[in-house]
Chain A
Amino acid sequence: GDSVTQMEGPVTLSEEAFLTINCTYTATGYPSLFWYVQYPGEGLQLLLKATKADDKGSNKGFEATYRKETTSFHLEKGSVQVSDSAVYFCALSDPASGGSYIPTFGRGTSLIVHP
């Protein structure tokens, strides 16, 4: 079945450092890919998404490019802030291949940004 693997955390960075959180996926078809973020005490929020190969999703300075050849959707940000400290979840949904709109999530990666 479909699955998502993301790097284990926590990822600890200093403010203004470059961020990469790796995510790879396994799917039978052509899934849509997502990054969700969970800030402390809050629910998961959709951060960005991409629906087809080579699409780039972006929001709040974060970017991720749908790479079909490497089945990856790595999250990047050029300069992180303390307020970016949160848990980041990679996810996919694959309704077009007989799957479902229900997202399949990774385990989440905790990001801690120090001043």
Chain B
Amino acid sequence: EPEVTQTPSHQVTQMGQEVILRCVPISNHLYFYWYRQILGQKVEFLVSFYNNEISEKSEIFDDQFSVERPDGSNFTLKIRSTKLEDSAMYFCASSPDREETQYFGPGTRLLVL
């Protein structure tokens, strides 16, 4: 069964450094998403992406964040200058269309020191 994959599974970085989290969505899906979950808190929506542009974003998704689909398979989330409070689990998801079920990846655990 096709699945969403994410790399790396864990990343440790120093405050102020840039990180790029990578995702490979399911190949025939058109909508892509990033969510995050700070330890002990809710899963929060960050951004959705369709047709090579952001279709929806939350208040969390500020200028520190950017997303890109650099080629036909990868979907990336970049955090330009990480802060301690960016430490969280980051989930990527994809769906065939916006009202259809989203399929989630296993997550990348980011720790900012």
Interface residue? B99 (CB, 8 A): yes
Q: Which of B1-50 contact A (CB under 8 A)?
A: 3-4, 6, 33, 35, 37, 40-45, 48
- Given known pairs A41-B106, A43-B106, A95-B99, the reply for A105 and B43 (CB within 8 Å) is yes
Contact, CB under 8 Å: A106 / B104: no
Contact, CB under 8 Å: B107 / A43: yes
In the bound assembly, the distance between CA atoms of A87 and B98 in angstroms comes to 25
Contact, CB under 8 Å: A102 / B99: no
In the bound assembly, the distance between CA atoms of A44 and B92 in angstroms comes to 10
Inside 8 A of A107's CB, which chain B residues have their CB? 40-43
Closest to A8 in B: B40
- Please tell me the size bucket of the interface on A: 20 to 34
A102's contact among B48, B106, B107, by CB below 8 Å, is which? Answer: B48
Closest to B105 in A: A43
Number of B interface residues in the complex (CB < 8 A) = 25
In the bound assembly, the distance between CA atoms of A3 and B104 in angstroms comes to 21
Inside 8 A of A42's CB, which chain B residues have their CB? 106
Contact, CB under 8 Å: A43 / B103: yes
Closest to B100 in A: A101
Q: Which of B49-74 contact A (CB under 8 A)?
A: 56
- Given known pairs A41-B106, A42-B106, the reply for A101 and B3 (CB within 8 Å) is no
Q: What 1/0 flags go to A79-107 for Cβ under 8 Å of B?
A: 00000000001010001000011111111
Contact, CB under 8 Å: A89 / B43: yes
A43's contact among B48, B56, B104, by CB below 8 Å, is which? Answer: B104
Contact, CB under 8 Å: B40 / A103: no
Contact, CB under 8 Å: B3 / A46: no
Q: What 1/0 flags go to B72-106 for Cβ under 8 Å of A?
A: 00000000000000000001010000110111111
Give A contacts to B, CB under 8 Å.
Answer: 4, 36, 38, 41-46, 89, 91, 95, 100-108
